[in-house]
Amino acid sequence: MEYHDTSEVLITTDQIEQMVEDVAAQINADYMPYQELIVIGILTGAYIFTADLTRHLNMAVNVDFMQVSSYVGTESTGVLKIRKELTVDVAGKDVLVVEDIIDTGRTMALLKDLLYERGAKSVKLCAAFDKPDRRVNDLKADYVGLVIPDEFVVGYGLDLDGQYRNFRDVRIVR
Ligand code: IMP
Ligand code: MG
């Protein structure tokens, strides 16, 4: 296992807790109480945020997970690779995608298109963290926890080669 300097805390555990409550309040205001909402957590990074966020929502939440990534092939928009498929049918449903961090924006743009192709009634995007400086398209998440600078960060679900997801705060990798 490689050693990385992760001593610099960017976001504390308290700030994360406040962020989750703020995002949940915005989402609760936008949907009807007890309205059916399909929440799709994006594995693996969003597993913690999905668990924390959904426990603050007051809709009739149906949680599912999908594992996707994007790669840049011949098209600059990228290609979506599905590693784990959904189990629910999103046709006619209101969908909220929960992501750990938005970087280039390719993954979320492609996934949003796919969910609309599958007949979702509405698709909204929620990310715990956003690095807008890195964006290659015009993607904007509907709900963003915290905007962060262009640094590689780990913790609260975010990894470097599978490590550090279990940190309770978010740290910069040097
Ligand atoms: P993109 O927006 O399509 O470029 O991809 C976003 C994905 O890249 C996230 O779901 C993460 O898996 C990964 N990622 C981007 N920035 C970071 C970071 O700072 N730390 C850990 N993973 C990151
Ligand atoms: Mg990742």
Q: What positions carry a catalytic annotation? A: 103
104 lines ligand 1 (CB under 6 A): yes
pLDDT tens-digit readout, 47-97: 999 999 999 999 999 999 999 999 887 667 789 999 999 999 999 999 999
pLDDT tens-digit readout, 125-167: 999 999 999 999 999 999 999 999 999 999 999 999 999 999 9
The atom of ligand 1 lying closest to the CA of 102 is 2
153 lines ligand 1 (CB under 6 A): yes
Distance CA 57, CA 52 (A): 10
What is the value of pTM for the model shown? 0.97
* Residue ranges in the chain assigned as alpha helix (H): 13-30, 47-54, 106-117
The atom of ligand 1 lying closest to the CA of 160 is 21
For residue 127, count other CB atoms closer than 10 A to its CB: 26
- Residue 119 CB burial class (10 angstroms; 0-12, 13-18, ≥19): exposed
